[in-house]
Amino acid sequence: MSAISLGQAVVLGIVEGVTEFLPVSSTGHLKITEGLMGIPVDDTSVVGFTAVIQVGAIAAVLCYFFKDIVRIVSAWGRGIVNREERYHHDYKFAWWVIYATIPIVVVGLAAKKLVEGPLGSLWVVAGSLIVGSGVMWVADQMGRHKRGEDDTTLKDAMLVGSSQILALLFPGFSRSGATMSTALILDLDRVAATRLSFFLGIPALTGAGLYELKDAVGAGVGAVPLAVGTAVSFVVAYASIAWLLKFVARHSFNAFVIYRIVIGVALLGLLTTGVLSA
C-alpha cells in the first residue's frame, strides 16, 4: 500500500501549490497538514514525496516566467561564445543564479540527516513561523524599496541565495520569506524581491525534488499519488504566482506576517494539547 493515498496527495498538492511561493512556509504547512491527516512527517517516503511535488510548483514558475527564462538563458548562451555579450545584465544574472545556488546545495547535502531528523520537528516549525514573521516585518520596514530588478548585483544574488539555508535548517521559516526579506533589506522593491526569489528557487527546488525522487518511490509512495500531487501543485502554484505578483505591487507583507504568527501560535497550541505529535 502507498504511504500516501490519492486523496491525501490531492490535498498536499493544493497546500504545496498555494504556499510554495508565498512567504508562509510550504514545508511548515505540509508538515501540519500531514500531521492532521495522520501521516508520519518523519517517514522517508513522505519527506521524499513533499520534495518531489515541489517540482510541480517549479514547473509552474518555468511556464509563468517562460519568456524571461528564455531571454536569460539565451543571453547566457550567447555570452559563453561571444565575449562582447558578457556585459549584458541577463548573462551576468544567469551566472549569479548558478553561484547563489551553491551554498544551499552544499549545506543541504551536509545537513540532510539533521534536516530530516530533529530539525523536522513541528516544534521547530512553530518557532520558525513566529520568528520568521518578525524578520519579515523588520525587513519590510527597513527596506527603502528603491531598487528594481535591473539593479541587482552579484552581492544581492549571493546574499539572497544563501538566505535559503535558513528555510532549509528551520522548516517553517519559509524559503520565500527568507529570500524576500533579505532582498528587502538590500533595498530591492517588493516586486523585484519576489521575482528574484522565484528565479533563485528554480535550481534549488528542482534539484531537491529530483534528488528525493528515489526515496519517494522506493520507500512506499505510489507512482499515481506522486504524479497527481505534482500535477495539482503545478496548477495551483501557477494561480498563486499570478496572484502574489499583483498583491506585492500594491501591498506590504503585513498580511503574511500576521497570518504566520496566527498559524505558529495555533500550531503551538495543537502540540501543547497533544492534538498533534511533534
Each residue's pLDDT tens digit, 239-270 = 999 999 999 999 999 999 999 999 999 999 98
pLDDT band for position 215 (50/70/90)? Answer: low
CA 270 vs. chain centroid, Å, equals 25
Q: Are 208 and 56 in contact (CB under 8 A)?
A: no
Q: What is the 3-state secondary structure (H, E, C) of 130-186?
A: HHHHHHHHHHHHHCCCCECHHHCCHHHHHHHHHCHHHHHHCCCCCHHHHHHHHHHHC
Cell of 202: 528554480
| Residue 60 pLDDT greater than 80, yes or no | yes
Helix (H, G, I), strand (E, B) or coil at 188: strand
CA distances from residue 263 to 32, 115, 233, 266, 270 in whole angstroms, order as listed:
10, 21, 21, 5, 10
- The helix (run of H) or strand (run of E) holding residue 77 is helix 66-81
Q: What is the DSSP letter of 120?
A: G
pLDDT band for position 136 (50/70/90)? Answer: very high
CB-based contacts of 11: which residues, under 8 Å, 6+ apart? 33, 37
| Residue 58 pLDDT greater than 70, yes or no | yes
Candidates 18, 51, 15, 23; CA nearest to 176 is 23
pLDDT at 195: 93
CA distance 61 to 259: 24
Cell of 59: 514547473
Which residue matches cell numbers 528603491?
A: 146
| pLDDT above 90: percentage of residues in the chain | 59
Average pLDDT estimate for 143-163: 93
- Cα-only R_g, the chain: 18
Q: Are 181 and 163 in contact (CB under 8 A)?
A: yes
Would you tell me the crossing angle of helices 26-36 and 44-52 to the nearest 10 degrees?
130
- What number of other Cβ atoms are within 10 A of residue 159's Cβ? 16
pLDDT band for position 172 (50/70/90)? Answer: confident
Predicted TM-score (pTM) of the model is 0.87
Candidates 12, 23, 31, 34; CA nearest to 174 is 23
pLDDT averaged over every residue in the chain: 89
- How many residues are present in the chain? 278
Which residue matches cell numbers 511548515?
A: 28
CA distance 277 to 123: 9
CA distances from residue 67 to 17, 72, 134, 138, 251 in whole angstroms, order as listed:
21, 9, 35, 34, 26
